[in-house]
A and B are shown apart, each in its own frame.
Chain A
Amino acid sequence: MNRKVVVLQLLNRVFYKTVGTSLNQYLGDPINILAHFSEYEANEILIMDISDHGSPDFEFLKLLGRHCDMPLSYVGNVRTLTHIQTIINLGFERVLIGGGMYQDPTLVKRAVDKYGTSTIGVIVNYEFKDGKRFIWHKKNLPGEYQLTKNFLSRIASLLVGEIILYCISFDGKRNGFDFDVLSIIPNSVNVNICGGCKSIQQIDESLKLFPMISFSAGTAFSLLPNNSVFLKYDRDLL
């Protein structure tokens, strides 16, 4: 059951496209962009809030929730169950927990218990160092943690609905997905690969090659090779 997911990075109420940890291109007004992808009937839209507010911008999320009639997920600054509940009430079907799980290791389990497998997912950001994958967190983790099958299996055992594996080192570079990471994923959970997408064609080919995996992209759906903004989506494949 795979999907091609549009990732839109939100910074202070504006959508940008990043390359790794740097801002690359201003995409434009979020309401307008959401309306476009809604019209294109995108399989799913993931709002990835990279603002540093400490908590989600609920007032703005309410606006986004009202302007989209396609599946909508959210990740960013989710720290408490109250955050999750508010985001769901604002119209998001799924909430993904990222950095919050490192700050509070009980958060994911408590969230799944209260809101269910179908609502809660996890995003694991990782980077390459010396050819090995390490978990990445913007606030820096105490020590270095390698991304392993054991780590992902532990997350899956909490009955999360989906794990998004987001390769920061590949993000926005259009060199292709990190397919090798598929060798360490557990079978019991939906997995979504994000970071490095070359083109929409690569997503379509990847979906055929890995029918149980979903693929996400930002650049491929929003920028031309010369970096000018051009929103596009073709849902016909699925």
Chain B
Amino acid sequence: MICKIINYQTGNINSVISALDNLGLKSIVISCANDLMVNDIVILPGVGSFDTAASNLRDGGFYEYDFIRNRNKVIGICLGFHLMCLDSEEGSLSGLGLLPVHVEDFKGCVEPTLHLGWSSVSSNVDAFRDKHYFCHRFYVTENDYTLASTNRIGNRVSNVVRKDNFWGIQSHPERSGTKGLLLLKEILQNES
């Protein structure tokens, strides 16, 4: 299995490569949608701000690429997850729309606005539970596509969201030690 990691300039690519290495998986970094093929597994890493990343994805031709027709499994981590959604309160550009949910802002709900640190995650899937590392100000509230979630001062925050072949992860599995690797492995091995 080879994963293609999209380089949209601001992602923490190196740590995602390390995590995949630890799972015994090879990876290739790509910047252009022309480098994608049918059935490819695609990873959108986290870290950065929405509009900067969305703009770079657009420049790489990823907004025109048909992930559904090409039967790609797409896994978004943190910001990468937000980019797969319809839109985000963080920016004015639209997302890829692979997950039919909106990304909201903690601002006005809780202080401090940044959810930073380790939080317990609840889920019916064993591999999605336990404590994971979070670092985000924007979030997707629990919805019909949520498979795992955490609580942040009264707000139910989706940690794993799935629609068909498209997966979003709010925490950073690549930085959550063995539990994070377990989560990533479960998603990578899941047959749709």
Contact = CB atoms under 8 A, between A and B. Distances in A.
A162 interface: yes
Nearest to B112: A190
Give the secondary structure class of A's interface: loop
Contacts of A212: 112
A13 B133 CA distance: 27
Interface string A41-63: 10110000000000000000010
B116 A190 contact: yes
A212 B111 CA distance: 9
A187 B112 contact: yes
Contacts of A159: 113
Contacts of B49: 112-116, 119
A85 interface: yes
Which of the four size classes fits the interface of chain B? Answer: 35 or more
A1 interface: yes
A91 B15 contact: yes
A21 to B, nearest CB: 29
Given A89-B14, A116-B137, A1 B172 contact: no
Contact of B114 (A3, A91, A118): A118
15 contacts: A1-B116, A1-B119, A3-B116, A41-B177, A62-B14, A71-B133, A91-B15, A113-B49, A114-B49, A116-B47, A117-B113, A117-B137, A119-B49, A161-B135, A188-B111
Across the A-B interface, give the 7 residue pairs with the lowest CB-CB distance, nearest first. A91-B14, A91-B15, A116-B49, A1-B117, A161-B114, A117-B137, A65-B14
Interface of A: 1-3, 38, 41, 43-44, 62, 65-66, 69-72, 85, 88-94, 112-119, 159, 161-162, 187-190, 212, 214, 238
Interface of B: 7, 9-15, 17-19, 22, 46-50, 52, 78-79, 90, 111-119, 131, 133, 135-137, 152, 172, 174-177, 180-181
